[in-house]
Structure 1
């Protein structure tokens, strides 16, 4: 069942309290709500400033949930429903409806801020590939003079969007639009959340419903379930633009950026792991539900006892006991399944480790097979290195000897030996001289002080 859009009065109250409206003066709001389409030619700066204000406003309102439409099975946070209901949603008291909202939508389409939902979902080309939209190709092919002529006869509109006889200028901008900045922001949040969960192969796999449930909190609500269309938009963006996952038969699998595109497939093993993961999650939910019922029966039994209704209290306790037995069985089954999951993830990890070993072995053998690492080459290289070292030593000796000759210095070993013996004799003579002087030093003279026990030696001069 599709959710109904919020009523005009409720939305008007919410808009008036939104920060972007509170920070904008009434005169400015009146200008923004006027038909400023003609300013594109007469005053381009003011025109683009107005469009930019509306871009931020529409994104802020959609992201905060104030422009919730009926796209999908619940409120959408990524897809803008642009039609007459949008005019009612952004209507302000004493100001009215925005007369240039169609112009704003078309401008945001022209710079890929807003993308038609059906084109976004069906395109095989990335949204970042310029020219992926039909009207952008047409605007490139058709020359500006011819385009101006077509505008004059009403074949194309002022906003640069091709029109048909079945659509009027007032409704040509109607449609469901993907907000690319909000999708990029949501995709970043999904990737960040997924990175924190990665502990094993099972953490890369989700059913489509599991994806909606697991990543609902990216909008700030812990128990939020992603809108069906929002989830499909996110999966399409992450698959096509980010190359981070694939969707195959309601199975979503995340991939590391290092995995080649041709290897990004969902195998039979992946589906088996996902079935086991889903069974574990179902059991956990059952256990939580049984525990909640047990707590409820215990509370009812206590209330019955306080009311002196012993038989009723016994009935509640009996029901609680039955649930306790059921809880024990479910916990046992959960323990078995979780043990199986651990074994599977261990085996998967071992496979990855063996692949790494194989790759490393191949790499090492490739390096060792290099011609420069063959034994003959190694021996030749080491011999050449020894010869080069010997040559370097001979060159160094020749340079040193040549330098001494150039300076007229000729040093012999005998001369050095004689100098060493003379130095030793000098040292010995110096020691004898010091000893003789010490023997010739006169004895010290003791001088008595006022204290008879203290005597100070007085050296004679």
Structure 2
């Protein structure tokens, strides 16, 4: 297993932002810092977690020996010192604390042994799922003492005691599932399924081959899942997310968290078989059509070169492929129409089940004692009697109010005269205030009858004094 080129390592975010001094510290044996310098220890473990996940996602840590094989992106293969050699840097060396990092990541469930993950019946999110967590929290100190006697831990809490690097690797070597990468891949797959689903039952059914073809390249951007990765994802989606049901070759997407209450029916199996047949026929149609296009091009080339016999041979072959294409298209159309009818019938079954359920619910509601005919009549009669009593009470209250108003009545004419006097008083006060503002003497109403002055005799009016 060769080292990862330095150019690739430095392209990782963790390497791009680290100094040479810091890198030497990360590559040193910091196992004994867990208690002497816990903050530095935790920081180093976290740095290596990001580094291992980034390198794994890029396919740099695969065990595959052939270039054509798809590298694992979710499963870390840690097999001894050779694994650490992958991270060798000139002038710094190889990291010495990878076994310690793997142990700590397993303790925090960032890494889970592949065999434990695939064979577990309980979800990985259950508290105390890992044996280490159970031991550390339930058994406690006596277990640490026993492990110290075996050389796995020291009494002061160091992970591997004084054992050398080779011995440490023997205790952690194996295959591990990277949980954070798995969770991210699962979320992308579920999102892709939600986007492509049109509500038809066939959209939720896959076999392993079609599942991988549909989702292997969307789980992580620029990364294709291997067959091992797909198995891990299927187990995670079924057991831990409850988003799919796997029965034999049938994979069925269900509403998240409902896998325990759902099932794969014979109808599902039949629909998947039809869907798979249609997909295969579609692939054959594409292949035949491509061959027809090639022959058409070859015919044109032969005619341009005036090679009539060759052109005729290609033409006969094209006719044969056209016949095959016609038959394949006819078969595919028949299968598609059959699939539509089956899906429609399956939908009708669900509708009838909904009708039956709603009918049973309605009958149960109607069977309630409060909705029986005698009880309804009794209730309505009681309501009518209560309303009549309420009207009698209201009438009695109204009559009493009218009588009380009659006893305390006041003459309306007196009230009207008093109101007019108050209005006149207000008007007088306003007029008095206005006169004072203008400085005009108050006008009084004359108490005598005015007399008109008699005009003088005409002769006296015509006398005009003449100046001397």
Same fold (TM over 0.5): yes
Match of 2:245 in 1: 246
Match of 2:174 in 1: 175
- How big is the shift at 1:45? 1.3
Per-residue Cα deviation, 1:113-164 (whole angstroms, up to 9, x for no partner) = 1000001011112111222222333333433266147426625465658999
Distance 1:36 1:393 in 2: 91
Higher mean displacement: 98-107 or 124-133: 124-133
Q: Does 1:293 align with 2:291?
A: yes
- Alignment check: 8 A CA contact 1:135 1:161 kept: no
Per-residue Cα deviation, 1:261-306 (whole angstroms, up to 9, x for no partner) = 3552x33333222222111111000011111112222223333344
Match of 1:450 in 2: none
Distance 1:47 1:358 in 2: 63
User: Structure 2 length normalisation: TM-score?
Assistant: 0.78
- How big is the shift at 1:401? 4.2
Distance 1:183 1:144 in 2: 33
- How big is the shift at 1:313? 3.1
- SS at structure 2 position matched to 1:392: helix
Pair 298,392 (structure 1): closer, same or farther in 2 beyond 3 Å? same
Pair 153,288 (structure 1): closer, same or farther in 2 beyond 3 Å? closer
Match of 2:226 in 1: 227
User: Structure 1 length normalisation: TM-score?
Assistant: 0.79
Match of 1:439 in 2: none
For 1:189-268, what aligned pairs fall within 5 Å after superposition? Answer: 189-198=188-197, 199-220=199-220, 226-257=225-256, 261=260, 263-264=262-263, 266-268=264-266
Higher mean displacement: 347-356 or 317-326: 317-326
Match of 2:424 in 1: none
- Alignment check: 8 A CA contact 2:4 2:88 kept: no
Q: Does 1:135 align with 2:129?
A: no
Consecutive unaligned residues in structure 1, runs of 5 or more? 417-461
Pair 30,228 (structure 1): closer, same or farther in 2 beyond 3 Å? same
- SS at structure 2 position matched to 1:177: strand
Runs of 4+ deviating beyond 6 Å: 161-164
**Structure having the higher Rg:** 2
- How big is the shift at 1:176? 0.6
Per-residue Cα deviation, 1:171-219 (whole angstroms, up to 9, x for no partner) = 3221110011111111112222222333322222222222222211223
Match of 2:349 in 1: 351
Pair 409,37 (structure 1): closer, same or farther in 2 beyond 3 Å? farther
- SS at structure 2 position matched to 1:68: coil
Distance 1:147 1:121 in 2: 28
- How big is the shift at 1:30? 2.1
Match of 1:60 in 2: 54
Q: Does 1:76 align with 2:75?
A: no
Match of 1:126 in 2: 123
Q: 2:18 aligns with which of 20, 24, 46?
A: 24
- Alignment check: 8 A CA contact 1:212 1:225 kept: no
- SS at structure 1 position matched to 2:151: coil
Match of 2:459 in 1: none
- How big is the shift at 1:259? 5.3
Pair 134,308 (structure 1): closer, same or farther in 2 beyond 3 Å? same
- Alignment check: 8 A CA contact 1:114 1:180 kept: yes
Match of 1:97 in 2: 94
